[in-house]
Amino acid sequence: MPGWTDPKSARVSFDDWLELFDRVPDELIERYHYYGNNEAWSKYLFPPQMFAVYGMRHLRRLKFDNSLAALRMWGFVQNETERLFRARQTGRRVIATMGDLGAVPVIVNSYPKCVAFYPDCIWWTPFAMESRVLFDAAAELGIGDATCFSRAALGAFAKHSYFPDPDLVIASTGASCDDYSGVEQLAERFAREMLWVEVPMRCGMGPMGPMGLMLVKEYERVVEAMARLTGHELTEDELRAGIRRTNTVRKMVSRLRELAFGDAALAALEMMVIEFGNLHYYSDMDEWTAVLEHLLATAEGRTARGERMLPEDALRVVWVTPPADPLLLTYVEDAGARVVGTEYVINQALEIMDESRPPLEAIAESFMAASLIGTSKARTQSVIHQARKYEAEGVIISGILGGSHCAMEGRLIADYVKAELGLPVLEFDVTSPSREVARQIGTRIDAFLEVLRGRR
Amino acid sequence: MITAGIDVGSVNTKLVVFDRVSQQAFCEKVVPTGPRPRETAHHVLSECRSEHKELSGHVRGVVATGYARHAVDYVEGTITEIRAAALGIRYWHPTCRTVIDIGGQDSKVLSLDESGKVHDFVMNDRCAAGTGHFLSVLAKTLSVPLEDFGWLSLESRRPVPVSSLCVVMAESEILSLLAADTPVADVIAGLHEALARRVANMAARLRVEPEVVFTGGVAQNPGMKAALERALGIPVTVARKPLLAAALGAALSVGETKPGS
């Protein structure tokens, strides 16, 4: 990049980034815009401090990748709320997709001037803001602490300030998360229009058995609803183009996972943000694709130079279920470990779709691989595969206090992993937003890493 | 070589200054932690220094452990109470393969391999259920001194089932039992059984192999030892010095820890 050379790869603090940001030339700050225009309002290359001022206080405690690509990524991701409101102002239709984590946006984003986003991802916001405001708002509407943190999405609907009121809400329910189905039901009162999509259980059948075919029918209803909303009849070519663009993103993320898990070219925090970008591209697919290209070039460069974000002797762990508190990833890395595999319940968004198949079938087929709609044992297979591939020394399962899935599934996954691989497994629940990692959880992580070290 | 370990627990702060050559402790202290763990740890070390002036310049290092280990800033390193307990217990009980540690704030079960390394462990969840705090709150409710609690439980002929493990719920449950004229000893025995069951359920997630050694503050309670033996179905050995095992382990780890914390 003109006027900028990345410093030697390192994880840096919030304050370090402010210092580094002073060195970013104005030309680069002017260079990056969302929604493909050059208007002053669509710039997004800002340091984390900018977003901390607007309430993301937790950023002050995290450690960040010190590359320009990562700075760009953080700016882009943190800017999403503003971007969604701009979408509305600039004549785009804003469609909330909920519950299926990655499939419906492939259809929605194939329509011209339509932006899909996931209110589900608001579940990080209470932790990022170190605030219970959204949980309290959800509780007032009837969904309290004994449910998954995804209830924050309901609070966000009620507040009308985290995203514009969507033109359409497409809510997937059925064999997905029970808690989130409850959130969706309560969110319906805020929707101008709500389309319910039934998500089938995999039931051990092939991806395109009766369950997969049922899903295709559901997706046909999505297409009909989108046609009603936009007045646009989606052609097969447009949908195929959407699949191709999605596959481009998914392939890049797949390569980034290899570079991060295999060569430590990226740290776990950035990698989690990247993986979740596969759900809806942070509401601007073209710019997210460019951000990923930048990250990929950075990671490839590091690997070629033999640079690593984390030491070679770091303990290798696979992480199961995304940590609602991102500080846990920073904590684990500070304590001497690195993440070499993830099972964040979004594997369907990592699957490459078959471009030769009828488009809706290709989307349904990739969704039918979702760990979300299968057994815990099937979910564990992905953990086991990654643990073997990257020679993991342990597995960390971070559950969600109140999450209906987590109460039972964590134990089952732990038992399967122990039986199959004989690896130590640490299982704990993330409790509630706070400024630091809870002392007892910190002790468990420390002791777990001591056990892993002792086994070397 | 003389080393020191300091275990800053939620209830007590414990110090052991130990000579690895003579295998003798020069100084062993247990003081209430109170609201300022850093000051307490500093105070207990200073007290030991003034009582044992002959140690001046001979202590090779201090390692801290316990929930407030990071608050102690003048040590060469920290280790978790899990590793510390394993090291200390194994030193006193070389055939130990399972450690049950019930302290004031948490309880844990450690599975040790043949060499004494921690092979796996489980800890209780966040709440007070399954910890010493559960017993101490309910001892107050029953107006029975905590030191008599265990002995009284052994006098019970017919422990009553106590189903609640939440301190608040258990409190209301035992008030109902007392209102129904249930003998206090039977209620206390029931509380011990409930706590032991919870710990045994936790232990069931690991391989519970003999020798099982019981440590932590609650190990001083004879009723709890008996209840654990019934719940686990195997004999349980009470640690030689249940309050001091982790501090000893920390002292034994000097030279092996990463500097600072």
Is pLDDT above 50 for B260? no
Q: Are residues B131 and B42 in the same domain?
A: no
Residue of B nearest to A430 (CA): B126
CB contact under 8 Å between B67 and A443, yes or no, is yes
Backbone angles phi, psi at A310, to 5 degrees: -135, 155
A411: nearest CA in chain B? B205
ipTM higher than 0.85?
Answer: no
Fold match, A92-234 / A310-343+375-456: yes
Residue B96 has pLDDT above 90, yes or no: yes
Q: Residues A225-261: pLDDT tens digits?
A: 999 999 999 999 999 999 999 999 999 999 999 999 9
Number of domains in chain B: 2
Interface contact flag, A447 B106, Cβ < 8 Å: no
In B, minimum Cα distance to A447 occurs at: B80
Residues 175 through 214 of chain B touching chain A, CB cutoff 8 Å: none
Weakest mean pLDDT among A57-61, A116-120, B23-27: B23-27
Angle at B143 between CA B142 and CA B145, to 5 degrees: 110
CB A377 within 8 A of CB A412: yes
Give A81-86 contacts, CB < 8 A, sequence gap 24+: A81/A162, A81/A163, A83/A34, A83/A35, A83/A44, A83/A282, A83/A283, A83/A284, A84/A115, A84/A117, A84/A163, A84/A164, A84/A283, A85/A163, A85/A164, A86/A34, A86/A35, A86/A41, A86/A42
Give the C-alpha separation, A403 to A408, whole Å: 10
Greater pLDDT, B261 or A51? A51
Spell out which residues of chain A touch residue B123, defining contact as CB-CB under 8 Å: 440, 443-444
User: Sheet containing A337-343: which strands, arranged edge to edge?
Assistant: A337-343, A315-320, A394-400, A425-430
pLDDT at A268 over 50: yes
Q: What distance in Å separates the CA atoms of residue B191 and residue B170, rounded to the nearest whole number?
A: 8
From chain A, pick out residues whose CB is under 8 angstroms from the CB of B7.
Answer: none
Q: What is the distance in angstroms between the CA of the first residue and the CA of the last residue of chain B?
A: 23
8 A C-beta contact, residue B126 and residue B210: no
- The CA distance from B106 to the nearest CA of chain A, in Å, is 9
Say if residue A375's pLDDT is above 80.
yes
Residues from chain A that touch B83, judged by Cβ atoms under 8 A, are: 447, 450
| A contacts of B114 (beta carbons < 8 Å) | none
Q: Are strands B59-65 and B77-78 parallel, antiparallel or unpaired?
A: parallel
The token pair at B2 is: 């003389």
Q: Are residues B8 and B114 in the same domain?
A: no
Residues 29-68 of B with CB under 8 A from A: 67
What count of CB pairs under 8 Å joins A to B? Answer: 38
Residues B78 and B56 in one domain: yes
Whether residues A443 and B119 touch (CB distance < 8 A) is answered with no
A contacts of B79 (beta carbons < 8 Å): 450
In sequence order, the 6+-apart residues with CB closer than 8 A to the CB of B213 are: B89, B93, B96, B98, B99, B100, B236, B237, B238, B239
A375-379 CB contacts, 8 Å cutoff, 24+ apart: A375/A202, A376/A408, A376/A409, A376/A412, A376/A413, A376/A416, A377/A412, A377/A416, A378/A202, A379/A343, A379/A345, A379/A409, A379/A413
Question: Over pLDDT 70: what percentage of chain B?
Answer: 95
B125 and B232 part of one domain: yes
A227-235 contact pairs (CB < 8 A, 24+): A229/A93, A229/A95, A229/A167, A229/A168, A229/A193, A230/A93, A230/A111, A230/A112, A230/A113, A230/A114, A232/A111, A232/A112, A234/A107, A234/A110, A234/A111
Cis peptide before A184 (omega within 30 of 0): no
User: Given this model, what pLDDT does residue B259 score?
Assistant: 41
The pairing of beta strand A11-13 with beta strand A63-65 = antiparallel
With a cut of 70, say whether residue B257 has pLDDT above it.
no
Q: Amino acid letter at A157?
A: F
First-to-last C-alpha distance (Å) of chain A: 42
Distance from CA of A454 to the nearest CA of B (A): 7
Contacts of A202 (CB under 8 A, 6+ apart): A175, A211, A368, A370, A373, A374, A375, A378
Q: How far apart are CA A454 and CA B176, in angstroms?
A: 49
Q: According to the model, what pLDDT value does residue B175 have?
A: 84
Tell me whether residues B81 and A443 touch, CB distance under 8 A: yes
Integer angstrom CA distances of residue B180 from B139, B160, B173, B174, B187: 18, 12, 11, 10, 11
Q: Which two tokens stand for residue B153?
A: 């439980």
In percent, the amount of chain A with pLDDT more than 90 equals 83
Select from B106, B117, B120 the Cβ nearest to the Cβ of A440. B106
Residues 100-129 on B with a CB inside 8 Å of A are 106, 117-121, 123, 125-126
* pLDDT band with cut points at 50, 70 and 90 for residue B126: low
Contact between B80 and A447 using a beta-carbon 8 Å cutoff: yes
pLDDT of residue B14: 95
Same domain, B205 and B248: no
Q: Do B79 and A450 touch (CB under 8 A)?
A: yes
Please indicate if any CB of chain A lies within 8 Å of the CB of B157: no
3-state secondary structure of A223: helix
Name the residue among A429, A431, A443 with its Cβ closest to that of B80: A443
Ramachandran bin of B34, using left for φ above 0, alpha for ψ from -120 to 50, beta for the remaining angles: left
Kindly report, residue by residue over A50-102, the tens digit of the pLDDT. Answer: 999 989 999 999 999 999 999 999 999 999 999 999 999 999 999 999 999 99
CB-CB under 8 Å, B82 with A447? yes
Residue B74 — φ and ψ, nearest 5°? Answer: -120, 35
Quick check: A207 pLDDT over 90? Answer: no
Please report, rounded to a whole number, the percentage of residues in chain A having pLDDT higher than 70. 99
pTM (2 decimals)? 0.91
- Report the pLDDT value the prediction gives residue A403, as an integer from 0 to 100: 74
Under 8 Å between Cβ of A250 and A350: yes
d(CA A200, CA A447): 40
- Round the average pLDDT of chain B to a whole number and report it: 88
CB atoms within 10 A of CB A289: 17
More confident residue, A372 or A157: A157
Mind telling me how many Å the CA of B98 is from chain A's nearest CA? 15
Mean pLDDT of A433-455: 91
Q: What's at A219, amino acid-wise?
A: Y
Mutation target vs A (from B33, B69, B81, B83; most A CBs, 10 A cutoff): B83
Name the band, by pLDDT with cuts 50, 70 and 90, for residue B95: very high
Same domain, B80 and B103: no
Residue of A210 and A168 predicted with greater confidence? A168
Which chain B residue is nearest to residue A336, measuring alpha carbons? B258
Residue B71: closest CA among chain A residues belongs to which residue? Answer: A439
pLDDT at B184: 86
State how far residue A9 is from chain B, nearest Cα, in angstroms: 24
Higher pLDDT, A271 or B35: A271
Host domain of residue B79? 1-93+242-261
Burial of A21 per CB tally in 10 Å (0-12, 13-18, 19+):
middle
> In angstroms, what separates the C-alpha of B114 from chain A's closest C-alpha?
12
Q: Indicate if the pLDDT at residue A437 is higher than 50.
A: yes
Written as one string, the DSSP assignment of B38-92 is HHHHHHHHHHHHHH-GGGTTTEEEEEEESTTGGG--SSSEE--HHHHHHHHHHHH
Q: What's the confidence (pLDDT) of residue B72? A: 84
List the CATH number of the domain containing B227: 3.30.420.40
B65: which strand partners?
B7
**Which residues in B lie closer than 8 A to residue A406 (C-beta atoms)?**
none
> Quick one: closest CA in B to A429, which residue?
B125
**Same-domain status, B77 and B204:** no
Q: Do both B103 and B215 map to the same domain?
A: yes
The answer to whether the CB atoms of A440 and B120 lie below 8 A apart is no
Q: Are residues B106 and B4 in the same domain?
A: no
Query: Over pLDDT 90: what percentage of chain B?
Result: 47
Concatenating the DSSP letter of every residue in A268-335 gives HHHHHHHHHHHHHGGG-HHHHHHHHHHHHHHHHHHHHHT--SS-TTPEEEEEES--SSTHHHHHHHHT
The reply to whether B99 and B83 lie within a common domain is no
Choose among B119, B120, B126: nearest Cβ to A440: B126
B76 touches chain A (CB under 8 A): no
CATH topology (fold) of A92-234: Rossmann fold (3.40.50)
Question: A392 is written with which tokens?
Answer: 């993991």
**Tokens 């609602």 sit at which residue?**
A324
Query: Domain residues of chain A, as ranges?
Result: 92-234, 310-343+375-456
Residue B45 and residue B104 in one domain: no
- Taking an 8 Å cut-off on Cβ atoms, the answer to whether A440 and B118 are in contact is no
Contact between residue B250 and residue B5 where contact means Cβ atoms under 8 Å apart: yes
Statement: residue A371 has pLDDT above 60 = yes
For residue A424, give the nearest of B79, B80, B120 by CB distance. B120
Burial A227-249 (b: 16+ CB within 10 A, else e): eebbeeebeeeebbebbebbbeb
For residue B128, pLDDT over 70 is answered with no
pLDDT band at B127 (very low <50, low <70, confident <90, very high): low
**Best residue in A426, A427, A450, A455 for a mutation probing chain B (most B CBs within 10 Å):** A450
> What pLDDT is stored for residue B159 in this prediction?
87
Q: Is it the case that residue B108 has pLDDT exceeding 50?
A: yes
What's the mean pLDDT in A148-158?
Answer: 95
Identify whether residues B199 and B258 lie together within a single domain: no
Largest CA distance in chain B: 63
The CATH number that domain A310-343+375-456 falls under is: 3.40.50.10700
